[in-house]
Amino acid sequence: MKKIFICVGVLIIIVLAAVYLWFHSITKKIFIPRPKNATTVALNSIQQAFVDKTAINILLLGYGGGNHDGTYLTDSMIAVHIDPKTKKVFLISIPRDIWIKIPTDGINGSYSKINAAYSDGLDDTDYPNKQAQFTGADGGGRMAEYIIQEVTGLPIDYFVGMDFSGFTHTIDTLGGVDITVQIAFDDYQYPIEGMEDATCGLSDDQIASFSATLASPSATISEQDAFPCRYEHLHFDAGEQHMDGTTALKYVRSRHSLQDGTDFGRAQRQRNLIVAVKEKIFASSFIPQIIPFMSSLGDDLRTDLTPDDVKTLIQNIQVLNHYQIVSLALTDQNYLQEAVSDDGQDILESKDGLDNWANVHTWLKNEFSGSPIKVKKQSSTSSPKPTQ
C-alpha cells in the first residue's frame, strides 16, 4: 500500500511538473522580456505609472499570422494612450499605408508602408544589419514602437500583437460582441481563407490566359471576375449587430465596399470593436480568467507586458471602466494626403512633407491636454516619393 501511495505521489509530481513546464513554455513565448537597458515607463512598471499618475502608451497590432500572405504585416495599428491624471483613454488609429523610412540597415533603410515595420523587425535573415534593438524575438515590437513614435511623438511603452486566429478565439471566448454598425455596406471582394489559389473550375490554359490578362496594365477585368470562387459577398446592416469571432474579423478587415471601404472607415470600425470588447469584458466574469486565457493563445499572441503588468491592469479594471474613451485618427481630413510611390504603390504621406510629423505631435499633445486645435484643410498636390 505504501508503494502505491509513493507511486501515485510521484505520478502527481510528474504531471504537475509537465503542466508547469508547458505553461512556462507558452507564457515565455507570449511575454517577451524587454532589454535590460530599456529606457521607458517599463522601468517603473504600469503599477508605478498608476501611482505617479503618468501616461501609459500601448501599441495594439493585428496581423494575419498562419499561412496568410504577409504573415506579420500589421493589418491594424492602434496606439492606446491611458492617462490616469485626466482619466481618459485615447484610441489613435494609424493607417497602414503611411509612407515612412524603416531603419533596416543600421540607422539607414528604405521607405515602405508603415505596416511593414513589425514584419521587418522580426526578419533578421533579410535584414542582418539592423540595430541590435530591432533584432531577436522582440525586434518586431521594438521596430513598430519606434516607427509609431516617429509619427505620433508618443513614447510607446508596450506593444500587444495578435494574429487573426487569436482574434477570433478571443471574441468567441467572450461569447461574441455587440457592435453598432454605423454605415451599412456591401463588400463583394472579401477573400475566402484557403481559396487564394483555387482554380474555380478553369483549365490550365484558361488560368494562363486570365493571368496574362490581369498582368496587363490595360486589363479590363479583375481577379474577382476571373476567379469568383476565391471571394465572398459580405453585407452588414446599420445598427447594433451581435458578431462572433469570424464575423467580427470580417467586419474590421473589409476594405472593398463602396460605402465604407477606405482604410479610414476600417480604422473607425476597429476602434468600435475595441470599445465593444471593453464593454463585454467589464460586463462578464471574464476578468479573473485573462492571464490563463492569454496563455491559451500560444502562438497567436505576443507582448512585452509582463504578467505583473497584466495583473496591475486587472486590479485597476474598475477604475479604467470609468475612464472616458476618446477616438482619434490620422486621415486625409487632417494631416495625411494620398500619393503614389515611385514603384506605383498607393500610399499616404504627411501633408507637411516627407518625414515631417511635427504638426501631428502638436495635435495629439493638444488633444491630451484638453485643448484641441482645429485642423485647417490644406489643398496640396500629391507627389511620388522615393522607395529608397
CA angle in degrees (0–180, nearest 5) for 272-277-279: 95
Expressed as residue numbers, the domain containing 159 is 46-174+286-369
Query: Can you tell me which residue has the cell 469570424?
Result: 246
**Does residue 364 lie in a domain region?**
yes
The yes-or-no verdict on residue 4 having pLDDT over 90 is no
Please tell me the distance from the alpha carbon of residue 129 to that of residue 223, in angstroms, as a whole number.
38
- Position 299 scores a pLDDT of 77
Query: Can you tell me which residue has the cell 522607395?
Result: 387
Q: Contact 47/308 with Cβ under 8 angstroms?
A: yes
- Position 24 scores a pLDDT of 43
**Does residue 279 lie in a domain region?**
no
Domain co-membership, 291 together with 161 = yes
The yes-or-no verdict on residue 383 having pLDDT over 60 is no
Please tell me the distance from the alpha carbon of residue 37 to that of residue 76, in angstroms, as a whole number.
29
Among positive and negative, which fits the CA dihedral 93, 96, 97, 98?
A: positive
Domain co-membership, 112 together with 2 = no
Q: Which amino acid is at 231?
A: Y
- Position 380 scores a pLDDT of 44
- Position 314 scores a pLDDT of 82
**Does residue 207 lie in a domain region?**
no
Domain co-membership, 56 together with 153 = yes
Domain co-membership, 339 together with 303 = yes
Give the CATH number of the domain where residue 298 resides.
Answer: 3.40.630.190
- The answer to whether the predicted template modeling score (pTM) of the entire model surpasses 0.75 is yes
- Position 40 scores a pLDDT of 45
- On the CB side of 35, CA atoms within 13 Å amount to 14
Average pLDDT over the chain, rounded to whole? Answer: 83
CB atoms within 10 A of CB 73: 17
Domain co-membership, 158 together with 58 = yes
Please tell me the distance from the alpha carbon of residue 311 to that of residue 304, in angstroms, as a whole number.
14
Average pLDDT of the residues in 153-163: 94
Q: Contact 227/150 with Cβ under 8 angstroms?
A: no
**Does residue 256 lie in a domain region?**
no
Average pLDDT of the residues in 79-86: 95
Domain co-membership, 101 together with 21 = no
- Position 27 scores a pLDDT of 57
Cα–Cα separations (whole angstroms), residue 338 to 97, 134, 281, 309, 379:
9, 29, 37, 39, 12
Higher pLDDT, 198 or 387: 198
Q: Strands 56-63 and 74-83: what pairing?
A: antiparallel
**Does residue 211 lie in a domain region?**
no
CA angle in degrees (0–180, nearest 5) for 201-207-208: 160
Strand partners, 159: 59
pLDDT confidence tier of residue 36, bands split at 50, 70 and 90: low
- Position 249 scores a pLDDT of 93
CB atoms within 10 A of CB 163: 23
**99 class by beta-carbon count within 10 Å (0-12 exposed, 13-18 middle, 19+ buried):** buried
Most confident of 120-129, 186-195, 271-280: 120-129
Per the structure, the count of domains in the chain is: 2
Coil vs helix vs strand at 123: coil
